[in-house]
Amino acid sequence: MSDPAVLDPVLDRIDADLPAAVERLFALLRIPSISTDPAHAADCAAAADWLAQDLRDMGFDARTYPTAGRPMVVGRGGDGGPHLLFYGHYDVQPVDPLNLWNHPPFEPRLEETPQGQVIRARGAADDKGQLMTFLEACRAWKMVHGRLPCRLTIFLEGEEESGSPSLVPFLEANRDLLTADLALICDTDLFDRDTPAITTRLRGLLGEEVTITGPAMDLHSGMYGGAAINPIRVLARILASLHDETGRVTLPGFYDGVEDPSPDIRAQWDALGFDEAAFLGAVGLSVPAGEAGRGVLESIWARPTCEINGITGGYQGAGFKTVLPAKASAKVSFRLVGRQDPLAVREAFRAHVRAMLPPDCRAEFRDHGASPASVMDLSHPAFEKARAALSAEWPRPAAFTGSGGSIPVAGYFRTVLGMDSLLTGFGLDDDLIHSPNEKYDLRSFHKGIRSWARILAALT
């Protein structure tokens, strides 16, 4: 448990230092470190340099590391206690369409809103504001106690918004530098304004593209309709067969490795008071469309899916053309949970498609990636300690939640470095990340810094 004599002065220092912390974040936000645009390569390097200098200023042994793309920043400091690695990313999304911004995206400012003050700028939430919550907690600790709370490695990436092409090679080449007892990742959201969350399960993702070919060329549907096989019809039959009437995926063995959440986890989710109607209503829906009898949260956090992400075939322009096309294709993805094996699912999918092919049709497949689900080992004592620390800071108790999406770095930390990740963050649904007018609530920034101070106190 945290010692109040250790923690409380750090929290006081954080409160007193907030205006200066905001100024430091603004300095970082003024650097237009858009990783996907080569014209901003120098800006990315400048952001990396700024962060390395900031880490050195608070006593870290820090520098930038060149890659084939944008540089990495690694800082090492502290000693004793557990060795924790903190991950964040300093690159930001592009800003277009620029005309939808209410003020220049790289001129950060505080704005009053009905929900309180917000920091408005590209990267305010994703991820500069979030990563600075951790650095400011370290800074306050250092200022109060003259040392960092434990052995810390800070690892900041500059390519997260452009697919992280250098990440895995860098992890593989720097295992000794980066391997710690546990990774901390700050790139996720609060469950809601008052409820912090530790994301303990992320779905995996399998992407497949299937193309069905029939006739050797496009045919006229008058001349051949009724005699020649239509690949769109074949594809529709195959896609329609992937789910049964209850919404379950029909592939043999698909649910191998899928487990229901434990009673304890289910109780935490129930206690969140998730508003299904509001969640669906916000996107024009009223009824959960997943497996029969399972609610929205469970469907997204704990159940696998099969979705058709795109389909194309025949004539798609204005008007009508009586073509009987030579081919049709679909992009199909599977979100995976638990111990589902992506490669086994891929094989089951391909075998199912091939088994349904009528004479004269061929199927070709294209692989669009396969990653397993990440499920954190909650028996690691850090998880309950961090949950208690977050619960002390926020109005409502923290919960172990899931995420329907994937955060690849957490998977790579496990597969390359053998390290679990504790993901928490202080963003909100309305932060407009990746959109014009991105913001980060000043309350998220302030309580985020305090949250990390509490977590560091609890883990050390």
> Considering only residues 238-257, where is the footprint of its own copies by CB under 8 A?
239-241, 243
Decide whether 236 or 388 has the Cβ nearer to its own copies. Answer: 236
Q: Are 450 and 143 in contact (CB under 8 A)?
A: no
In angstroms, what is the minimal distance from the CB of 399 to its own copies?
A: 18
Stretch that binds its own copies, among 13-21, 152-160, 203-211, 408-416 (CB under 8 A): 203-211
3-state secondary structure 336-371: ECCCCCHHHHHHHHHHHHHHCCCCCCEEEEEEEEEE
Stretch that binds its own copies, among 132-140, 316-324, 342-350, 438-446 (CB under 8 A): 316-324
Q: Using CB under 8 A, which residues numbered 390 to 429 contact its own copies?
A: 403-406
Query: The dihedral of CA 72, 413, 405, 135: what is its sign?
Result: negative
Stretch that binds its own copies, among 61-69, 91-99, 107-115, 300-308 (CB under 8 A): 300-308
Decide whether 119 or 238 has the Cβ nearer to its own copies. Answer: 238
Collect all residues with Cβ–Cβ distance below 8 Å to 57 and sequence separation of at least 6: none
Q: Using CB under 8 A, which residues numbered 351 to 380 contact its own copies?
A: 358-360, 368-369
Decide whether 243 or 352 has the Cβ nearer to its own copies. Answer: 243
In angstroms, what is the minimal distance from the CB of 29 to its own copies?
A: 25
In angstroms, what is the minimal distance from the CB of 295 to its own copies?
A: 9
In angstroms, what is the minimal distance from the CB of 241 to its own copies?
A: 8
In angstroms, what is the minimal distance from the CB of 28 to its own copies?
A: 27
- Token duo for residue 267: 């109780």
Integer Cα distance of 93 and 312 in angstroms = 29
Stretch that binds its own copies, among 91-99, 126-134, 233-241, 411-419 (CB under 8 A): 233-241
Q: Does 266 bind its own copies (CB under 8 A)?
A: no
Q: Which residues of 430-457 are buried (b: 16+ CB within 10 A; e: fewer)?
A: ebbbeeebbbbbbebbbbbbbbbbbbbb
Q: Which of 98, 285, 343, 351 binds its own copies (CB under 8 A)?
A: 285
Q: Which of 1, 68, 289, 355 binds its own copies (CB under 8 A)?
A: 289
3-state secondary structure 127-180: CHHHHHHHHHHHHHHHHHHCCCCCEEEEEEECCHHHCCCCHHHHHHHCHHHHCC
Stretch that binds its own copies, among 153-161, 193-201, 208-216, 392-400 (CB under 8 A): 208-216
- Token duo for residue 98: 């620029």
CB count within 10 Å of CB 120 equals 22
Q: Does 230 bind its own copies (CB under 8 A)?
A: yes
Q: Which of 63, 279, 344, 443 binds its own copies (CB under 8 A)?
A: 279
Integer Cα distance of 142 and 152 in angstroms = 12
Decide whether 45 or 229 has the Cβ nearer to its own copies. Answer: 229
- Token duo for residue 300: 């997204």
Stretch that binds its own copies, among 12-20, 76-84, 138-146, 317-325 (CB under 8 A): 317-325
Q: Are 303 and 204 in contact (CB under 8 A)?
A: no
Q: Does 97 bind its own copies (CB under 8 A)?
A: no
Decide whether 3 or 245 has the Cβ nearer to its own copies. Answer: 245
Length of the chain counted residue by residue: 460
Integer Cα distance of 415 and 307 in angstroms = 26
For residue 211, give the H/E element and its range: strand 204-213
Q: Which of 6, 45, 168, 311 binds its own copies (CB under 8 A)?
A: 311
Decide whether 169 or 358 has the Cβ nearer to its own copies. Answer: 358
Integer Cα distance of 170 and 173 in angstroms = 5
Stretch that binds its own copies, among 24-32, 55-63, 131-139, 226-234 (CB under 8 A): 226-234
Q: Does 82 bind its own copies (CB under 8 A)?
A: no
